[in-house]
Structure formats: structure tokens, C-alpha cells
Structure 1
Amino acid sequence: MAYLWPEDLLSAIESGQMSPLEAFRKLREMENTSVSRDSASLQSSVEQRIETILRELDSLIGLTEVKKLVREIYAFIEIQKRREREHLNTEPMVLHMIFKGNPGTGKTTVARIMGKVFREMGVLSRGHLIEVERADLVGEYIGHTAQKTREQLKKAYGGILFIDEAYSLARGGEKDFGKEAIDCMVKAMEDHKDELILILAGYQKEMEKFLQTNPGLRSRFPIHINFPDYNKQELLQIAEQLCAKRQYQLNSQAKTVLLSLFNPPENNSDDNFGNARTVRNIIEKAIRRQAVRLIRKHSTTREELMVIEPSDLSGVEKCGNV
């Protein structure tokens, strides 16, 4: 006989159909079944949320190898958790990272997405991103740097501390306060290893030099991700995506003009190349030029208000020279 509610068990005891001991066992079975169902439902919900976040990553233009590596990190963490549940040996989950690449290649965006994934997986309690640079960490007198650095670290606990142009912390030599900031961060990585992930970001060549100045850093940051510059077609896709979000569109002639403006450097040779950031500046400037062109008309159609023409791109410098 199946009893679905505790009230049914109580009635069975009162009527003599079941002993108190049998009723207690049945109640425990019901509780275990309920917990198992709730756990399975919760796990399914978490997996769905993670997949939604990873689809956000997949929607980014280009970055094929970056996307592949992020999914590898996700798979590694998940399998280590499963091994732990089965009492198998696990690999240490040191998730501090180095992001190398030019500005506008998606480093901050990817870091923010990873924070969301780590939160859902229980690796981080909050998964938020605190973005800082040298000025936020380095003070002007002895002791000030440690104080400023600890304040930023405290804000990041439960999430990710993203340090842009991290190599600038080692530029001043032994007597520079930047070294104090590095020492403070290294200590936090040990003392708060379960509630903080550090990501050091910057130009590829500068980051390599930075790691050579402090050999101990490389072993503390086992994950290195290279963010390549976008090619011309990827830059055009980014431009079209930016336009679509603003309810604008490039006509075919404007696309041709835009492609001629894209002059990405080879092998990251131009440190001033802005990639997606530069494309955004071009589109925003084109939108303003379109407004100047259309304001002369007394009336405009819906299509005219949306279309970016070649003339709206005139006077814009090539991307590689911005």
C-alpha cells in the first residue's frame, strides 16, 4: 500500500494497518525520494543556466580558441567535482589566469562570462568582476599600497579581480610600490584561495616580460589565454552586430567602405590597435554623421532613419591608425 502524505501514515497507525516503526521507515523513504528528486531538479536547473551563459560566450564574434579553452575549464571543474563525490583523487583547482592580447579583443567580456559560470558551479559565491589598474592598487607612500590593494581585494572576494595592464606593477623596479601590490596579491591568493580568482591582463609581449621579472608568478597563474586580433570579416560582423543592437544597418556600399577601413596589424604588431573598441567608435561616429545628413530633410522614412551610407563613413581613419 502506497502512502503519499504523512497524514495517511498517521491514519494507518491509528487504524492498526501499520506499526509506528513501519510508518517511520516509510516516512524516511518518502523524504529520501523527495530529496533525490529535488537534487536532480536543482542540478538540471544549474546545467541549463550554465549552458545559457556559455551560449552568451558562443555569440561573441571570433575567439574560437578562447571559447574552446573556456569550455575545457568548465569541463575540468565539473569532472573534478564528480571525482570528489566518488572519493577519487582530484587535481587542484587553481584558476588564476593570464589574459594576453590587444585592447578590444574581448578580455573583460570573457572574464565576466567566466565569473557567471564559476558562480553557477559553486566555485565562486558571487561571481562578480572587479576591474582595476595600477592607479587603483599603488599608493603614494609606504604602507598606502598595501591598504589600497587590500581594499580592492576585499571588494573582489567571492568573485574575480581583473587587473588590466598588470605589467605596469613591475615597471618601477625594486623600489617601486608596485612590487608591494604584487606581494599583497600573492598573499591573498594563499589566504583566500577558495574565494578569489585573479586575472592579470595586458599586451602579449609586455605580459611575457612581466612574468619573467617575477618567476614565481607563472606557476601561480597556470591558465594562459591568448586573445588574437580580429580579421577583417570578423570586424565587419562586429560592426553589423553593433548596428543591429541600435536598430541601424549598413547598406552594401557602406560595408565595402568599412572593409577598406579595417587594417588590423599582423601578429599584434600595433599596440595601439583598438579592435572591437575601435569599430564601436567608427559606428558611433557614422551614426552622428548620418544624423547630420538627415537633419536637412523635413521628413524621413523609417528606412532612411536606419540605413548607414558610405558618406556617413567619410573622414574616418583606418582602424590600424586610430
Structure 2
Amino acid sequence: MDTPKGFGVPRPAPDAPVEVVEPEVLTDDAELDLSVDEAAARVEETLAALDAELVGLAPVKRRVREIASLLLVDRARRQFGLTSSRPTLHMSFTGGPGTGKTTVALRMAAILHALGYIRAPRVHTVTRDDLVGQFIGHTAPKTKEAIARAAGGVLFIDEAYYLFRPDNERDYGQEVIEILLTEMENERGDLVVIFAGYPDRMATFFSANPGLSSRVPHHIGFDDYDHAELVQIADLMLTSENFRFDDAAQSAFSEYLTKRVQRPRFSNARSVRNAIERSRLRQARRLVELRRPLRKEDLITLTAEDIYGSSVFLAETAGEGDVTRPSTSSQSASSFAQTNRVQ
């Protein structure tokens, strides 16, 4: 699996399958050391990568480690010839946008693959539009096609609650749910389904579908990042792209985050990445307008001017569709923003 830089999203290596060989059955008096097990080592490597990639999210990481431990022990039991039902691995990830749900799904696929629970460390992501048809007879083929593409891996259904629309009797989302119920039960050895979305809407979604809820034993909640974690995420992103804030820019970006999180449609790490990309645009324009030879330090440094150019600091502007009051913390913020109306 490719290792992402900073807060990037990991992608499975397309042509690097890892063969999982089931060991021979051990005798009753044998001892099994998980620390020297090759599959266990790959799992630990994946968990370490998850710790490095994602800031915070301690409860999420703890739950992922618990699931990994369950599967390691289940594998150890099989090595002693102890038979039991296969663990149900379908999951629900609840949280706001940009909180790491997709990244965790990709790492979970790597863990399940390393231990032989799926055939490939693959995550096929879909939304309602990929599953629900527009007319009678259209939904089943679309849903089955998505399931076929995810077979042997993980089917990640984002904003899954849109499949359930009780106010529309002719909506075909219920047909998708019925097909999923069948496939989740019949294909437990070849498919893991992860439902994802906002916590309150997902609670309604599962409460309205008791059959579906009973097939999803693992519910993992992703909290929004706090201010300090967002700053840390920004630093990781900058480092991965060979940029840095100077001291004034570090302070300005902290101020930016304080304002931005209060606005609608804030998307955690996603919004941080967008803010950095726009700061890079302003830096590029500033450097070109210097009309002098550039040094390496110029190219890697983002300044306060690049941050204060954001429309977040304007009195009334449509930065990401929001309106805010002018900054009173810095006179320079206002002057920069007046000439840079990009958030």
C-alpha cells in the first residue's frame, strides 16, 4: 500500500496483492506468539500508519485497534482448530465531513486483507446516485453492479441516510436497502459494507431499518477537530508539500481558523486543505509581483499577507457563501483582505 504524505489519503497499490497463507493447525499444548506472526506485523504497521496520518481521533483509533485485536485472536483460534462463527464486520462511521472517515476505511481494508477477511485491500466508494435508479427496474442492476465492483473488498456508502426517504412512497432507495440486506448476509465472507454520514441522520437511518441495524455491529464516531488539532493538521499538510508558515503567518492562520469554524459548511481537515491551497495562490501572485530573483526561502514560506488575503477577514463578502464581521485584531488583516478577495 502506498504511504500518503501528511494528511493525504492512502491508496491501495493496484498490483501488489499480499497472499495470506493459513498456517497449519497447532497442537493443544503449542504456544502461539502473535508478535512474530507475519499478518500481525502487517496489521501493526497499518495501525502505526493510521496513528501517523491522522491527528487526534483517539476513540476512533482505539476502536480500530480493538477490531484488529478481535480478528487477530479469531485467527489464532483457527490455528488451534477452534471453530466459531465468522465475525460480522459491517460498520457505521458517523461524523462531519473532513474527519478522516475515508482514510480509516482504507486502513481498515488493509487490516482485513492482511488477516484474510477480504481478498483485496480495496474500498469502492458510492453515494445514493450510484445505487438508486430513476425508473422501475433500474435500481437493482445499479446496486448489484456496485456490489460486484466492491466484491472481495469494502463497499463504502457515503451519506447512506439518503437511501431512506420515508416521505416519498415511490422512492427506490428502499429497494437498495433490501438488496444490501440480502448481500450483507449472504456474502459475509466476500464483502464488508461501511455506512457513513452525519451522526443524527445515521441514527434515524438505522432506527428506521432494524434489519439493517442488526447487521452492523461496529459503530464508530468521528468527532470534529478542535482548534489545536486543526493547526497541527495544517502544519502536517504544509510539511508534506515543502511549505511553512513564518511566525506572523502562523498567528494569522490560527486567527483564520477561529473565524472559519464559526461559519457554515466548515469541513474540518478538508477546509484546512482548501485554505492552504488558496494561501498558496496568494503567495504565488505575491511572488510574481515582486519582480526580483527568488530564493528557496521565498518559495517555501507563506506569510501573514497570504493568510489575511482571505475573505474570512472581509466585512461582507461571499467567501464560501458566508458573511462575517471585520477583523479587529489586526489593521493589516483588513488592508490585505481588501486587495485579495479570495477565501
Provide the TM-score with structure 2 as the length reference.
0.77
8 Å Cα contact 1:286-1:312 kept in structure 2:
yes
8 Å Cα contact 1:80-1:91 kept in structure 2:
no
8 Å Cα contact 2:75-2:115 kept in structure 1:
no
Runs of 4+ in 1 over 4 A off after TM superposition: 317-322
Q: Are residue 79 (structure 1) and residue 70 (structure 2) matched?
A: no
Secondary structure at the aligned position of 1:199 is classed as strand
In 2, distance between residues paired with 1:115 and 1:79? 18
Which residue matches 1:149?
A: 143
8 Å Cα contact 2:92-2:194 kept in structure 1:
yes
The C-alpha deviation readout for 1:267-317, integer Å capped at 9, x for no partner, is xx9872200000000000001100101112321111111011111012325
Matches within 5 A, 1:154-165: 154-165=148-159
Q: Are residue 312 (structure 1) and residue 297 (structure 2) matched?
A: no
Which residue matches 1:280?
A: 273
The RMSD of aligned alpha carbons is 2.5
Which residue matches 1:223?
A: 218
In 2, distance between residues paired with 1:159 and 1:271? 35
Greater mean deviation of Cα atoms: 195-204 or 211-220: 211-220
Q: Are residue 300 (structure 1) and residue 298 (structure 2) matched?
A: no
Which residue matches 1:253?
A: 248
8 Å Cα contact 2:163-2:177 kept in structure 1:
yes
Q: Structure 1 residues 289 and 50 mapped into 2: Cα distance closer, same or farther (>3 Å)?
A: same
8 Å Cα contact 1:98-1:201 kept in structure 2:
yes
Q: Structure 1 residues 110 and 180 mapped into 2: Cα distance closer, same or farther (>3 Å)?
A: same
Deviation at 1:92, TM superposition (A): 4.2
Secondary structure at the aligned position of 2:251 is classed as helix
Which residue matches 2:200?
A: 205
8 Å Cα contact 2:90-2:194 kept in structure 1:
yes
The C-alpha deviation readout for 1:181-217, integer Å capped at 9, x for no partner, is 1111111112211010000000111111111221222
In 1, distance between residues paired with 2:263 and 2:138? 35
Q: Structure 1 residues 291 and 265 mapped into 2: Cα distance closer, same or farther (>3 Å)?
A: closer
Structure 2, unaligned stretches of length 5 or more? 1-32, 313-318, 323-342
Q: Paired residue for 2:62, among 58, 62, 68?
A: 68
Matches within 5 A, 1:109-124: 109-124=103-118
Structure 2: which amino acid aligns with 1:280?
R
Q: Are residue 235 (structure 1) and residue 201 (structure 2) matched?
A: no
The C-alpha deviation readout for 1:239-291, integer Å capped at 9, x for no partner, is 1111111100011211111111224899xx98722000000000000011001
Deviation at 1:91, TM superposition (A): 5.7
In 1, distance between residues paired with 2:89 and 2:107? 14
Q: Structure 1 residues 45 and 77 mapped into 2: Cα distance closer, same or farther (>3 Å)?
A: closer
Secondary structure at the aligned position of 2:214 is classed as helix
Q: Structure 1 residues 271 and 197 mapped into 2: Cα distance closer, same or farther (>3 Å)?
A: farther
Across the two proteins, how many residue pairs are aligned to each other? 282
Deviation at 1:127, TM superposition (A): 2.0
Secondary structure at the aligned position of 1:241 is classed as helix
Greater percentage in helix:
1
In 2, distance between residues paired with 1:45 and 1:82? 12
In 2, distance between residues paired with 1:73 and 1:164? 21
Deviation at 1:87, TM superposition (A): 3.7
State the identity %.
39
Q: Paired residue for 2:96, among 102, 115, 119?
A: 102
Secondary structure at the aligned position of 1:194 is classed as coil
Structure 2: which amino acid aligns with 1:63?
L
Q: Paired residue for 1:185, among 180, 183, 195?
A: 180
8 Å Cα contact 1:53-1:117 kept in structure 2:
yes
Which residue matches 1:58?
A: 51
Q: Structure 1 residues 107 and 120 mapped into 2: Cα distance closer, same or farther (>3 Å)?
A: same
In 1, distance between residues paired with 2:311 and 2:105? 30
Secondary structure at the aligned position of 2:145 is classed as helix
The C-alpha deviation readout for 1:204-245, integer Å capped at 9, x for no partner, is 111111112212221111100000000111101111111111
Structure 2: which amino acid aligns with 1:138?
V
Which residue matches 1:26?
A: none
Deviation at 1:97, TM superposition (A): 0.5
The C-alpha deviation readout for 1:67-88, integer Å capped at 9, x for no partner, is 1110000000111121233244
In 2, distance between residues paired with 1:276 and 1:255? 17
In 2, distance between residues paired with 1:174 and 1:79? 46
